Amino acid sequence: MKTGLFFGSFNPVHIGHTAIANYFLEYAGLKQIWFVVSPHNPLKKRASLLPEYHRLELVNLALDNDPRIRATDIEFRLPKPSYTIDTLAYLSEKYPQREFVLIMGTDNLVTLYKWKNFEHLVRNYEIIVYPRKGSENQQLHPSVEKLLPEARITVSQAPLIEISSSFLRQAIGKGKNMRFFFREKVWEYIRDMHFYES
pLDDT at 80 over 90: no
- Over the stretch 140-165, which tens digit does the pLDDT of each residue have? 899 998 988 889 999 999 999 999 99
Distance of CA 150 to the CA centre of its chain: 24
Question: By C-alpha distance, which of 83, 89, 154, 81 is closest to 115?
Answer: 83
18-72: pLDDT as tens digits:
999 999 999 999 999 999 999 876 666 666 789 999 999 999 999 999 999 999 9
**Per-residue model confidence (pLDDT) at position 31:** 96
**Dihedral over Cα of 56, 94, 17, 41: its sign:** positive
Give pairs for 159-167: CB < 8 Å, separation 24+. Answer: 159/19, 159/23, 160/131, 160/132, 160/133, 160/136, 161/16, 161/19, 161/20, 162/133, 163/14, 163/15, 163/16, 164/16, 165/9, 165/10, 165/11, 165/12, 165/13, 165/14
User: Sorting pLDDT into bands at 50, 70 and 90, what band is 136?
Assistant: low
Q: What is the pLDDT of residue 139?
A: 86
What mean pLDDT comes out for the span 113-141?
90
**Residue-wise pLDDT tens digits, 86-112:** 999 999 999 999 999 999 999 999 999
- How high is the pLDDT of residue 186? 98
pLDDT at residue 138, as a whole number: 80
* pLDDT value of residue 42: 60
Domain ranges of the chain: 2-161
pLDDT of residue 195: 97
pTM: 0.92
Establish whether the linkage from the previous residue to 12 is cis, with ω within 30° of 0: yes
Confidence of residue 74 (pLDDT cuts 50, 70, 90): very high
- HSE at residue 164, side-chain half, CA atoms within 13 A, is 9
Mean pLDDT, range 3-15, rounded to an integer: 97
CATH of the domain spanning 2-161: 3.40.50.620
